[in-house]
Each structure stands twice: as structure tokens, then as C-alpha cells.
Chain A
């Protein structure tokens, strides 16, 4: 029977370091008793406690002990290893010891923060420390391996976050692939008229950036395209992109739109997606005048040629010699290799139909805030006129906040931007129509730069703010002045009364929600979602744009509701993280790979089909399994499966885990 007790560097001399983490740990775990206990464990040469182990003096303590007490193993009992394992490995390494002669114990997240009985929390900490001490004795020195990083990057989503991230990295000289599902980039921001709180025109600030993307030599822009498959790992992702057919040859179309003019449909009849159905388009169309790329699209669902094959094809005639129209185009796929990926897939707006008592879809003059943005927009379906469906100018407008936000029936979170865009719309509607505007709010949230000032300004302009959750929107008139109006029934919680406010137009400020396919996208990129469905960041404070999958970063509202400045700032942060990664040229990978001990392997092939990365191959010459370290991601599935124990895993050796089991249970024996 073979047991690996060989320590590789002499008899174990372990240093155990217990962190107080201020009172985070010390307030619940008796750190003095824990340290005294650790000192009694076999192999422990030094045990100390300190206020903040991760601080410079804390790390210096470890380094000087390694030198002075000739320590060859270190255990730190502190916060989560996911937070600081790296830090302490660095300290161990700085003292000239292999960084893997180290084991970290979480006595904060797994102990002091979740328990209420100091005696029990201390007992648990002792068990965990004992396990780590028994485990670290078996640790071996390991080499980190590094692999080259592909310098190209992928940005998924061409809204303002994706655009900004792509430009930042392209300007830094990286080749960027920007993949957008819609026919044009621009995202939600391209639909806005003015932006709060400064009221600068969204198009004026966005379109130059869109153009820059379209013309940047370092950006490959694929719109009307979706990521289909992601393989590989940090620094070396292989991505398959599905490109939907536009039925337009991109290199030949110049965006002159003569084909649209010439279409056999004299009138536009198809509801226009970009204008949320408020306007109409033809089967061949340009999403909006400043679209990037400036290319028309043919919608095969409504195009006569696709439906009957008998169209006169006046569009092809109009295109003439350019010959940019191609009805035979098929979906195609592109394969690219990138080192890092930024997800900027954005959000969707709340479907106001889900709240029947607000009358959206029932009463034609109930609009969503985004529809009103399009009405206000000079390039919108009404040329910037805020008019009702019958063309009248509204004289009284009610804006309902928190539609689908802060509501346990829909979404409990605050969507962050609705107060501000509601106040902005109130101002713009009043500016355009002179209407009386009423805002119905639960709380006004204006914590951003210049937000409160903007709110005060709009208050002073005479916009009404009524504090209360609207109970109902109806057309049930109970008095002559309510006739022909929509009545907003609300409890005014400041005045302490139920009010009925008759208006011509109701605007619903809907919640921001995760994209409908967020779950599928999350799986595609192997990242996590929060319970609400937003992409989950690695750490809410210290790694807010990273994910749990190395090399994949988040930007914009796909991570949670955000306004434009925050989306742009996060896009810059994500770009910086991605740049730091690809600029390093090489990336160190955790050495926790699996390996086959050739002498022990019987060649039974049990492991071969189990590896999702095809890292295990059967060598016909030796009749044994072999693991290609560069392909192994260190999950350990094959290690657990090997029926004769011939496969092992660095850092997660059987003996190490058995030592941990024995350690946590020593009190039970």
C-alpha cells in the first residue's frame, strides 16, 4: 500500500494564521482559542492571530515567519479562498516557498457570518483548521503553466455599452469582433430623444460613436448575427457566429435606399420594429436613418418575392448595376478565435400587458415610456410630435412610475433609471405640448450626478408629482369632466385621499428586465445569473465586470439596470479588464490539472469518453490513457471515475481530500 506522506521538503513545519477580519471573524469565533488549538496540531510550528491577515503587515508576518521559523507549509484561516487565496499564495511565494504549499480556510463566509453561537462557530473553525493542517501536509510543489493569449476580443451586443467597449479596445490596437443581433447597432439608446439629466440629444452623442465603429479598421462588425457556440477557455476562445441572411450583399449596398423607394409596396404596411410598431416600414427597409452599417434588410416574412416568387422585383431594378440584392442568400457561420469576450447584451423592457389594470393594450392612449421616446424623437414616426393615436395633442398626461418594478408580483428590484426618464419625459412632453403632466411615484430616486437638480427644475416647471401607487387606469367616467378621458385612480399618500385624475395620455414607466434569452446566453458563455436573471458578476464590489468564467466580462444593463453613464463606465472597465488580459500575452492557468500515472494505468479506457474537453486520449502504442495538460480544465471528473486510482489531480489528490475528511471529522472518531 502506498501512501504519499512525502512532503517534498522535509518534515512539515506549518504556520497557521488566524485572521480577525476586524470583528467580522473575531466577533463570533474565539480567535485566541482557535490559534491556541492550531498550535497543538501535529506539524504546526507557529500559530498566530492577527487583525487583518490580508493587510501588508499581515502578509509580512507570514513572510518573516517562513524565513525565521523555516516554515514549509502555510495555512490561513480568514475569508473565502475565492477572495484572497491568490493574495496569500503570493505572500508564500514572496518568501521563497512554492505557493502551493498553502491552504486557505474560510472561517468568515462559511462560519462567523452565518452562525450565531460563538462556541459552535469556534468549534467549526477548529474542525476546518484541523482539516486544512492535515491536508497541507500532503501538498506538493506545483508549477503554474502558462498559455499564450489570443489578442483578439469579441464584444457581444452593439448597444452603447458594447459600442464603447469595442471602440476602447479597438483604439488600443486590438482587433475587435462586434456581434449584434439586430440589423443595426445602437441598442436602446438609439431610440431615445434626449438623455437625462443634461438633455443632450441621444442621437448626437451616439451616432458619431456608431459611425466610428462602422469605420474603425480594427473592428469587424457583424450585425444581424448571433453567437451560436463558444468553445475553449480564457485566452483561447473559439466562437461560432451565426449570420442571418439580409438578402443584401453587404459590400455592394451603399445605403442609398432607392430599392426601398422602388419596392412594389407603394405604401409601408409592416409595423416598424424600431419605432415599436408606432410607424410602418416596407418589406425592404433601413431600421433607421443613421443605422450602422448603413445597409438595407429584406424581411422574408413580408416580401412578396419570398412569399410567392412572383414579384416584379422592382427593388432589384432600382439597385441596377450595383446588384446588391441577392434573394438566394443563406444563413452562414463564421468561426473566430479570441482571447477575451465582453458581454453587453443589454435588457428588455417590461411587457406592460402583464399589468391589466393599467390598461396597456386595452386603451389605445396608454403608452410605454419607450413609445413616447419615439413620439418625441424628431426622427420618429410622428416627426417629433407628441400626439395621441387620433392625432390630437394631449392636454393632460399621467406618467406612472415603477410599472413592474418594486412590486413583488413582478420584479422586486428598482430599475434605477425609471424615475429619471419619467421626469425627463414629463419635461419633454410639457415642452412639446404644454400639457399638464402628472407623475405618480412610490419614491423619487435621484441619486446620480445632477439628478436631484434636474428633478427640482422639473418640479419648478410645474409638473405635478403625486406620491402613491396607481390602483387603476380606466375610461369609466363618473363626472362630465372625466368624459372621453382616461382616469387614473390613485391614493395620494401625502394628501391622504383617493384621487381620480382624468388625462388624455397615460405613460407607463416600465421596469428593465433581463433579455428573454438571457438564460440561453448565460449557458452559451458558461456564466451565472442572479435570481432575477441578470448576469452575475464575480464579486459585487471587487470584480464587478468579471464573471466566474475567466476571460468573460460584463458591460451595461445585462448585469443589472443601469443608466447610460454607468453603462459606458462599466464598458470602459470591462474593456480595461479584457485589455489587461490579452496584453499580458500569456496567461497563467491554475495547476489543478489531472494527470495519469502511466505505471498505474491499465488502459481500461473508462476515462476517455468522460472529458468534455477531449483532454484524455488513448495512446495505442503504450495502451494507456494520456492527459494533455493544456486541454485539461481541472474538473476532476476523470479522477473520480478512474476505477484503479491511476488518474490524479494536482491540488485535489485523493489523499488530500481524504485528509480533509478525516480532519473535519476527527472529533467524531
Chain B
């Protein structure tokens, strides 16, 4: 407890875009309620509190820590562990902490490929020596260090134990507010819960009634290819909307804005691998029994990984693209295992 007697909370960002921080600010006047009920002990984006200040706090002295962003670097990993120690509750805030999010699509490549692209192959880059960022660089007799850049992007729970998840890219003010109220009042669901409804998005979608009962699709179309009818279910227009597979709670923000759901709230609790699940549902909807005809329709979906695992690649059962052939260590283990 802080001297004020109020519970103390921390906000931190890892591999994220900053949108989750924006989402907190988007609480607007409601943020005053948060400040009233709790002391923000650590929030680098808004408050000048250093890591050593956080280290100085007693373990478990924070009521809750909210971490947004995926885990890409050694520093993010360290901070996750540090906040885990200091906080009674650790909350994965937003799609990246929850499932890996968009940054986890980088799991389709490895560190070497990403560095080559960013520091050599990108059209605007001039780097004849092929210089790469170094973890330790001597400068004027001093050592400058950079955090290690990991090969794999991880969701928060792949690095530390997570108590609750706030889904969304970013979480909407409504679910943030509800989560804060639940945490501050102690009326929490079982540990490990996602703090959002456990029913798919269609339930909240105003276009639901316009979806025909016998919908089978002959082609998939992308939002820029058609003039979207704002009054009709997007799937019924052939636009791949992931609403049926995605947890509700956002009040169907995107479909209301005439854009398909891309799945940022992640799956319901009953689904193990949301990408595979949506593949199952989407393929079921295809109106073809002939293999070639079916493939032709399915091929109108470009980039299936980016489509079905847009926010969840890190948390998927496959997690990342694999190297073939496997590294020697893996072979040895497979042979002896």
C-alpha cells in the first residue's frame, strides 16, 4: 500500500505500438476514477519513475501490474519478471501481451532474416559494412549495452505467469474500466480468465440479423475490392470477417465501421488454436465439393497466416515458422527422446 493507503498499480509496455497506452488515456474522465481509487506507481510513458525505483519496492507491494506488448527483447523479459515479483496480480493488457499480437507475425522469420532486411535489404538503407546492432559496444572507453533481440516473439504468459488477460488491439475503454473495477473491488473471475465475454463477437454485432442462414461462399473478397454495404453482414458480402471465431466485448467496433473483424480479442476459452479453428469454419463455408474448385475459392484468401493468426501467432500451437532441417540439438533429442 502506498502512503495514501490506496492500492498501487503499474503500467508497462514491451513490444507494442503505444496504442494500449493510448487506450488508458482514452478512458477520458474515467481515468480520474482510477487515479482516485489507486496510485500509479510506475508508468514510464507518463511518469518519470525509473526501473531502480521499481526494484526498490517490496515484492508483492503492487496490487496489479498491467503489461502491454509482446516480449521480443531481453529487457522486456527482465521487466516482465520484475513486475511479476513486485505485483500481486499481473495482467496481460492488449492483444500483444495476450497472444503475441501483430509483432508476433515476425515469427514467420528469424532474427538473422529480420536484421538482414532491416539493416541491409530495405530500399532506403545504406550499410556497406553490413553493420548490425551489438549487445555491447565500447564507446570512448565506456561500455554501451543494448538488450538482446530474441529470435522468437512471445506472449507474456510464455515468459512469466499471468493472472488475467485484457484482450483487444487495443482493449476498449469499456473493458478496461470493467477490469479495473473488478481488480480494485476484488470481484475477480478464476485466475487465468480473459476479462471479456466468453461468447463470439457475432452476438454483439448489429449486422448479425442480415446474415443468411444458408451462407456458402464462392469467393472471398478484400475490403478494398468492394463497395461495402454498411447494412449487411460482412461475411455475407464475401469479406472474411473473423467475428464468429473472436471473443466479443468490443461491441463490434470494426463491423460498425464497415470493416471486418480481424480477431484482436482472440478466441473464446473453448478454442485452443484460434487460427486453426477459423480455418475449419471458413473452409466449411466454401461452396465447392471438387478439390480444384475448392482450392480456387480458398486461394482468394491471400496470406492465410496473416489472416487467421494476425494477433495470435505467438500463442498458436505452432508458435513460429520452423527451421528445416532441424538444428542438431533437436535431432539428437528426437533420436534419444
What residue in chain A is nearest B216 (Cβ atoms)? A609
Shortest A594–chain B CB gap in Å is 14
B67 interface contact, C-beta 8 A: no
Residues B169-193 near A (CB distance < 8 A): 192-193
B277 near A643 (CB under 8 angstroms)?
yes
A585 interface contact, C-beta 8 A: no
B147 interface contact, C-beta 8 A: no
Cβ contacts under 8 Å, B134 to chain A:
none
Shortest A635–chain B CB gap in Å is 12
Q: Mark B250-289, 1 if CB is under 8 A from A, else 0.
A: 0000000000000000011111100001101100110000
What residue in chain B is nearest A639 (Cβ atoms)? B280
A602 near B199 (CB under 8 angstroms)?
yes
Cβ contacts under 8 Å, B202 to chain A:
602-605
A608 near B214 (CB under 8 angstroms)?
yes
Compute how far the CA of A525 lies from the CA of B46 in the bound complex, rounded to whole angstroms.
72
Compute how far the CA of A623 lies from the CA of B199 in the bound complex, rounded to whole angstroms.
13
If A599-B199, A602-B200, A602-B244 touch, whether A641 touches B284 (CB-CB below 8 Å) is: yes
Cβ contacts under 8 Å, B270 to chain A:
2, 600, 644-646, 654
Q: Mark A1-38, 1 if CB is under 8 A from B, else 0.
A: 11000000000000000000000000000000000000
Cβ contacts under 8 Å, A1 to chain B:
192-194, 269
What residue in chain B is nearest A617 (Cβ atoms)? B213
Q: Mark B236-250, 1 if CB is under 8 A from A, else 0.
A: 000000011101100
Shortest B48–chain A CB gap in Å is 38
A254 interface contact, C-beta 8 A: no
Q: Mark B75-109, 1 if CB is under 8 A from A, else 0.
A: 00000000000000000000000000000000000
Q: Mark B198-218, 1 if CB is under 8 A from A, else 0.
A: 111111000011011111100
Compute how far the CA of A601 lies from the CA of B243 in the bound complex, rounded to whole angstroms.
12
Cβ contacts under 8 Å, A600 to chain B:
198-199, 268, 270
Cβ contacts under 8 Å, A67 to chain B:
none
- What number of residue pairs across chains A and B have CB atoms under 8 A from each other? 91
A610 near B215 (CB under 8 angstroms)?
no
Shortest A538–chain B CB gap in Å is 28
A644 near B208 (CB under 8 angstroms)?
no
Cβ contacts under 8 Å, B214 to chain A:
608-609
A603 near B203 (CB under 8 angstroms)?
yes
A645 near B271 (CB under 8 angstroms)?
yes
B200 near A643 (CB under 8 angstroms)?
yes
A641 near B216 (CB under 8 angstroms)?
no
Shortest A126–chain B CB gap in Å is 16
B327 interface contact, C-beta 8 A: no
Cβ contacts under 8 Å, A609 to chain B:
213-216, 285
Q: Pick the residue among A604, A641, A658 that contacts B243 (CB under 8 A).
A: A604
B291 interface contact, C-beta 8 A: no
- Number of residues in A with C-beta < 8 Å to the partner? 27
A602 near B213 (CB under 8 angstroms)?
no
Compute how far the CA of A2 lies from the CA of B245 in the bound complex, rounded to whole angstroms.
17
B271 near A644 (CB under 8 angstroms)?
yes
Compute how far the CA of A610 lies from the CA of B282 in the bound complex, rounded to whole angstroms.
12
Instruction: Give the interface residue-count category, chain B.
Output: 35 or more
Cβ contacts under 8 Å, A2 to chain B:
269-270
A606 near B244 (CB under 8 angstroms)?
yes
A668 near B337 (CB under 8 angstroms)?
yes
Which of B193, B199, B211, B285 has the most chain A CB within a 10 Å cutoff?
B199
Shortest B246–chain A CB gap in Å is 8
Shortest B65–chain A CB gap in Å is 21
Cβ contacts under 8 Å, A606 to chain B:
244, 281, 284-285
Compute how far the CA of A668 lies from the CA of B330 in the bound complex, rounded to whole angstroms.
12
Residues A601-653 near B (CB distance < 8 A): 601-606, 608-610, 618, 623, 637, 640-646
Shortest B298–chain A CB gap in Å is 15
Compute how far the CA of A610 lies from the CA of B287 in the bound complex, rounded to whole angstroms.
11
A644 near B284 (CB under 8 angstroms)?
no
B193 near A643 (CB under 8 angstroms)?
no
Compute how far the CA of A646 lies from the CA of B200 in the bound complex, rounded to whole angstroms.
9
Compute how far the CA of A108 lies from the CA of B248 in the bound complex, rounded to whole angstroms.
48
A604 near B200 (CB under 8 angstroms)?
yes
Compute how far the CA of A654 lies from the CA of B273 in the bound complex, rounded to whole angstroms.
12
Compute how far the CA of A193 lies from the CA of B154 in the bound complex, rounded to whole angstroms.
83
Cβ contacts under 8 Å, B281 to chain A:
606, 641-643
A604 near B244 (CB under 8 angstroms)?
yes
Cβ contacts under 8 Å, B247 to chain A:
644
Cβ contacts under 8 Å, B199 to chain A:
599-602, 644, 646
Q: Pick the residue among B203, B209, B271, B284 that contacts A602 (CB under 8 A).
A: B203
Shortest A255–chain B CB gap in Å is 48
Shortest A669–chain B CB gap in Å is 9
Compute how far the CA of A8 lies from the CA of B297 in the bound complex, rounded to whole angstroms.
45
Compute how far the CA of A654 lies from the CA of B243 in the bound complex, rounded to whole angstroms.
21
Residues B274-314 near A (CB distance < 8 A): 277-278, 280-281, 284-285
What residue in chain A is nearest B285 (Cβ atoms)? A606
Shortest B237–chain A CB gap in Å is 15
Cβ contacts under 8 Å, A604 to chain B:
200, 202, 208, 211, 243-244
Compute how far the CA of A644 lies from the CA of B202 in the bound complex, rounded to whole angstroms.
10
B248 near A643 (CB under 8 angstroms)?
no
B201 near A602 (CB under 8 angstroms)?
yes
Shortest B297–chain A CB gap in Å is 15
Compute how far the CA of A471 lies from the CA of B213 in the bound complex, rounded to whole angstroms.
66
Compute how far the CA of A506 lies from the CA of B157 in the bound complex, rounded to whole angstroms.
84
Compute how far the CA of A644 lies from the CA of B213 in the bound complex, rounded to whole angstroms.
17
B192 near A637 (CB under 8 angstroms)?
no
Q: Pick the residue among A605, A640, A646, A658 that contacts B211 (CB under 8 A).
A: A605
Compute how far the CA of A648 lies from the CA of B214 in the bound complex, rounded to whole angstroms.
21
Cβ contacts under 8 Å, A643 to chain B:
200, 244-245, 271, 277-278, 280-281
Which of A1, A602, A609, A610 has the most chain B CB within a 10 Å cutoff?
A602
Shortest A298–chain B CB gap in Å is 40
Compute how far the CA of A610 lies from the CA of B215 in the bound complex, rounded to whole angstroms.
9
Cβ contacts under 8 Å, A654 to chain B:
270, 272
Which of A2, A606, A609 has the most chain B CB within a 10 Å cutoff?
A606
What residue in chain A is nearest B269 (Cβ atoms)? A1
What residue in chain A is nearest B165 (Cβ atoms)? A1
Compute how far the CA of A604 lies from the CA of B281 in the bound complex, rounded to whole angstroms.
11
A658 near B272 (CB under 8 angstroms)?
yes
Compute how far the CA of A605 lies from the CA of B199 in the bound complex, rounded to whole angstroms.
14
Cβ contacts under 8 Å, B269 to chain A:
1-2, 645
Residues B135-170 near A (CB distance < 8 A): none
Q: Mark A266-297, 1 if CB is under 8 A from B, else 0.
A: 00000000000000000000000000000000
Q: Mark A655-669, 1 if CB is under 8 A from B, else 0.
A: 000100000000110
Which of A610, A658, A667 has the most chain B CB within a 10 Å cutoff?
A610
Compute how far the CA of A646 lies from the CA of B248 in the bound complex, rounded to whole angstroms.
14
Cβ contacts under 8 Å, B209 to chain A:
623
What residue in chain B is nearest A668 (Cβ atoms)? B337
Compute how far the CA of A645 lies from the CA of B244 in the bound complex, rounded to whole angstroms.
10
Shortest A211–chain B CB gap in Å is 47
A644 near B267 (CB under 8 angstroms)?
yes
Shortest A36–chain B CB gap in Å is 22
If A645-B268, A658-B272 touch, whether A637 touches B284 (CB-CB below 8 Å) is: yes
Which of A1, A608, A644 has the most chain B CB within a 10 Å cutoff?
A644
Q: Can you list 22 A-B pairs with a CB-CB distance of less than 8 A?
A: A1-B193, A1-B269, A602-B199, A603-B208, A604-B208, A604-B243, A605-B215, A608-B215, A609-B213, A609-B285, A623-B208, A641-B280, A641-B284, A642-B281, A643-B277, A644-B245, A644-B270, A645-B267, A645-B268, A646-B199, A646-B268, A646-B270
| 3 closest residue pairs by CB, A with B | A645-B270, A602-B200, A643-B245
Given A604-B243, A644-B245, 12 additional A-B pairs, CB 8 A: A599-B199, A602-B200, A602-B248, A603-B203, A605-B211, A605-B215, A608-B214, A645-B267, A646-B199, A646-B270, A658-B272, A668-B337
Give chain B's interface residues, CB within 8 Å of chain A.
192-194, 198-203, 208-209, 211-216, 243-245, 247-248, 267-272, 277-278, 280-281, 284-285, 337
Give chain A's interface residues, CB within 8 Å of chain B.
1-2, 599-606, 608-610, 618, 623, 637, 640-646, 654, 658, 667-668
